[in-house]
Structure 1
Amino acid sequence: MNTQKKITGILCFLQCFVLTVLAESLPKDTIFRYLASKANYEEENIPNYDLPNPLIMKNGSTINTLKQWNQKRRPELLRLFETEMFGKAPKHPKDMHFKILTEDKNALGGIATRKEVSVYLTKSDKHYFTVLIYIPNKRSGAVPLFFGLNFKGNHTISLDPGISYPTPEKQKEFLWKRLPPRGIAAARWPIEMLMENGYALATIYRGDIDPDFDDAFKNGVHPLFYKKGQHHPANDEWGTIAAWAWAMSCAMNYFETDKDINTSQVAVFGHSRHGKAALWAGATDQRFAMIISNCSGCGGAALSRRAIGETIQAINQQFPHWFCRNFRKYNSKENTLPFDQHELIALLAPRPVYIASATEDQWADPKGEFLSGVHATPVYEFIFGAKGLDAKEMPPSDTPLQDGSIAYHIRSGRHDITQYDWKQYVKFADKWFRK
């Protein structure tokens, strides 16, 4: 028996060693398939866990008032997520400035004005990312805005020939592939529908900010902020997701200068890994008036302690650049986390937040996403007097819960963002922005 245990232990060690050492050379889809095949998807196999109470401080004292939340607990939670998960980001650079690169007031057959805006991070015009914006032409005054990252370039969200391609130096993610064609992701971006409903849309190609692969943080914004002699973020400093969220906050500075955008009604949204970034952007920048998480899973809306589907260890092995290095301390040790993702949702209070899942997306743990909304509800209700998520049990598929400040639905289908999702987000935004 002892010999068998030793052999099992050695095999487990070798498995982890191989995954860790070869993670950089194996194709990401190969690693994903292996990790997904080994994941737990059964409720009965969830480990025992106790969720931390968002209204109890680390020292054991209870939060009872809005003042205590704002001055004590919220800063404490924010600091914990910064140092142990996402990583600390720098302040906005004082030399940040903007330039409108292109503007077409007759885009999409005349229904929209299209702008491309460069956000520069230094005095020179060398380092920047580009914000693509569509504003409905049929409007009276400033309009609310949906704002999120895209995966493969601004040009992929529409067949609109006026959208610029990423500059060559920003195409690092496509070194071994062709640049994705124009409009390939248009199904995920219902621009015309948003224009018809009176909403502006803005997006940034995430590779303009920091490419989505482990490049030792050489090709994105990180080197602009290294201290003398520094070549890599410290263990508690920003990873890629924090960099994406930080850049979205920088873009908000531009929106505040644009008379066509109602900056008191900006909804930050994201699908999958971009949903994680949207949640963190909303937590760190309270100017975002609404936050939308679409299938954000582990590191997003899903509770880490459930260890269903993608786990902390799996996400750190496949995407070691996403979070700060301190987060690796919690590989297979979810119960030692000083927080869980319901407290990330709580950091958004009292602003409206929408959490969405998909029935075939078990890797993202839909139930864990729903439960984050449930367990964030006491902060909304007790501290702010706002209605949270009005349910204790998951709703049937395609049956949205939108009565409270925390909304939820689980859509039929796979890991994606669809027209159905967007219709719910517009309906939810109408409720809060059209009052």
Structure 2
Amino acid sequence: MASSIAPGAAPPAGPAPGRSRHRRRLRFALVALAAAALASALALSTRFSAEAQVQAASEWDGANCDVRIPGSWASNSLLPDPFTRIDGTRVTSRDQWECRRSEIKELAEHTVYGDKPRPDSVSGTVTSSRITVNVSDNGRSTSFSASVRLPSGTGPFPAVIVYGGFGADTSTILSSGAAVIDFDPGAVGAEGTGRNDKQGAFYTLYGAGSSTGVLMAQAWGVSRIIDVIEQSGGSILNDSTGVTGCSRYGKGAFVAGAFDQRIELTMPIESGSGGVGAMRSIAQESGAQPLSSAYGEQPWLGDAFGAYTGNPAALPVDTHELVGMIAPRGLFIMDNPHVEWLGARSGAVAALGGAEVYKALGAGANVSYHSNVADGTHCAVRSDWRTPLQQSINAFLKGSGNPPGVITMHPSKSANLSQWRTWTTPTLGTGDPGGTTPPETTSPPTETTSPPPAGSGCTARIEVVSTWNGGWQGNVHITAGAAAISGWRLTWTWASGQSIASSWNATVTASGSAVTAADVGWNGTVAAGQTRSAAWGFVANGPSTLPAVTCTPD
């Protein structure tokens, strides 16, 4: 079924590297030296800072990893473990994660998107109004261009590449001090073509019958723009780049950010099936665009994906691992829960699964997911997203302030990661091949109420998942007493300066400092003596001082 909205409809028409490779390598060297000199201080950090985490010296830093794709792999109806390598061993350090990320990349190219080749040469120009790109590979040449809009003030400026001129609010991007690069993705990978007659600059080089899908072709184009910015000397655009897009362009922005480690901030919006949404979940989410539709409507996905549209459990990867590929760089996912076709619950599943990679790397605050909006208009400019958009640009592209670090799901499209995984999240060591050196020397504080009651009743424990300046994220674990419970209600009183900013999987009310939270049905049942882990979660403002929680069966 072709969609008249979101992934299936063309959005309104929009307006038609200063990142220097030397500067990036210099920054990488400085970060490495700082890490060596201040190891003990870094060990105390609960996350990478938004500026210090930018360490990619090339399009793909794991290019030297020895990745060998097996001929077959086991089927899995749940989300694959991002921390288990192809050989069955588990990742225990950040060094090992670098090559595990390359495994995920190769598997995703092999089964979902198609290959992303590195061309022989790239050249071009950057002016205050335009970027031109010239590419040659294997004796063939092609070119394309993108327009530039500069913010007020004196450059050089960071820039956000906007797919089709249709992504995150460009007025907010410009007012935040970042340039807008209006990228026409169709010039590189055109829609409306058959799989054996693909068109655009990418296919001029690699053939109309290339098995690489349009999303990867367009991501290749984004990387070539960054190549030119890198070469430009940094007089107009500096060394920080983001990417964004909505609907079909949200799919493209997500893929671009996952497959180029030089992109500091990725912001996909309402990307639907074939975008952020976990494919295994899409197949089970009522009303979401089926995978077969996303594959057949346009040649967005690689030709090889046709074998998996009816059986995503056979895939060796899923999109939560692409979220993990972006880690620890900035990621702000925006979703629309009011249009069933967009599959926002599956987007939340992928965001929660990928956020575990961010946590393992000590960068939990660098990923945000936001679907708790009232306006259901597709690709609308929403005031709900303006502040986190500004915070993301400031933190990841300008190196100032803190990222939003918020995961807030609409109650009608919330997700529960525990239903989708059997794997646990490790704490990855800082460069120790054995994984014995954790990124922090102290664990976040946790607090338990009184021990589980001997009779009927329940207790609750709040776990601090991550903290940042001015806020923190908590998970709440519910334990039943000697008798099973079919529902729960929690109450507590905040200390001065604390409040809930957002929450998921609970109905929360607040009156002053008093808070009441109740289950939302599916997460209310807890067997006798058992614990429902991460029964619900929230983001809080203020210090991470834990309140005393009272749990009452409801």
TM-score tier by shorter-chain length is: 0.5 to 0.7
Mapped partners of 1:196, 1:117: distance in 2: 21
Query: Do residues 434 (structure 1) and 400 (structure 2) align?
Result: yes
Code of the aligned partner of 1:204: F
Cross-structure match for 1:69: 97
Change (3 A) 1:222 1:125: closer
Cross-structure match for 1:418: 381
Mapped partners of 2:301, 2:192: distance in 1: 12
Unaligned runs of 5+ in 1: 1-18, 20-26, 34-47, 104-113, 151-156, 158-184, 388-403
- Which of 94, 103, 116 is residue 89 of structure 1 equivalent to? 116
Is 2:320–2:350's contact at 8 Å kept on the other side of the alignment? yes
Q: Deviations over 1:6-63 (max 9, x none)?
A: xxxxxxxxxxxxx8xxxxxxx8759x99xxxxxxxxxxxxxx9311111112332111
Cross-structure match for 2:517: none
Alpha-carbon shift at residue 126 of structure 1 (Å): 7.8
Instruction: Select the structure that is richer in strand.
Output: 2
Mapped partners of 1:407, 1:49: distance in 2: 26
- Which of 237, 250, 263 is residue 261 of structure 1 equivalent to? 237
Query: Do residues 366 (structure 1) and 377 (structure 2) align?
Result: no
Cross-structure match for 2:468: none
Is 2:162–2:183's contact at 8 Å kept on the other side of the alignment? yes
Query: Do residues 204 (structure 1) and 183 (structure 2) align?
Result: yes
User: Which secondary structure does the structure 2 equivalent of 1:355 belong to?
Assistant: strand
Instruction: Select the structure that is richer in helix.
Output: 1
Change (3 A) 1:218 1:341: closer
Alpha-carbon shift at residue 405 of structure 1 (Å): 1.2
Q: How many residues align?
A: 320
Alpha-carbon shift at residue 423 of structure 1 (Å): 4.6
Change (3 A) 1:342 1:190: closer
Query: Do residues 149 (structure 1) and 158 (structure 2) align?
Result: no
Alpha-carbon shift at residue 125 of structure 1 (Å): 12
Is 1:209–1:221's contact at 8 Å kept on the other side of the alignment? yes
Mapped partners of 1:70, 1:337: distance in 2: 21
Is 1:120–1:127's contact at 8 Å kept on the other side of the alignment? yes
Alpha-carbon shift at residue 378 of structure 1 (Å): 2.2
Mapped partners of 1:356, 1:347: distance in 2: 18
Alpha-carbon shift at residue 130 of structure 1 (Å): 1.4
Mapped partners of 1:282, 1:207: distance in 2: 18
Change (3 A) 1:368 1:138: same
Cross-structure match for 2:493: none
Query: Do residues 350 (structure 1) and 328 (structure 2) align?
Result: yes
Normalized against structure 1, the TM-score is what? 0.68
| Structure 1 runs, 4 residues or longer, greater than 6 Å off | 123-126
Change (3 A) 1:369 1:90: same
Listed as ranges, the matches of 1:132-281 within 5 Å are 132-139=147-154, 141-150=155-164, 190-215=169-194, 216-226=196-206, 232-233=209-210, 237-256=211-230, 257=232, 258-263=234-239, 265-281=240-256
Query: Do residues 130 (structure 1) and 145 (structure 2) align?
Result: yes
| RMSD (Å), alpha carbons | 2.7
Code of the aligned partner of 2:358: Y
Listed as ranges, the matches of 1:100-111 within 5 Å are none
Change (3 A) 1:75 1:422: same
Code of the aligned partner of 2:316: P
Change (3 A) 1:231 1:127: closer
Is 1:129–1:204's contact at 8 Å kept on the other side of the alignment? no
Is 2:156–2:238's contact at 8 Å kept on the other side of the alignment? yes
Mapped partners of 2:197, 2:182: distance in 1: 22
Cross-structure match for 2:442: none
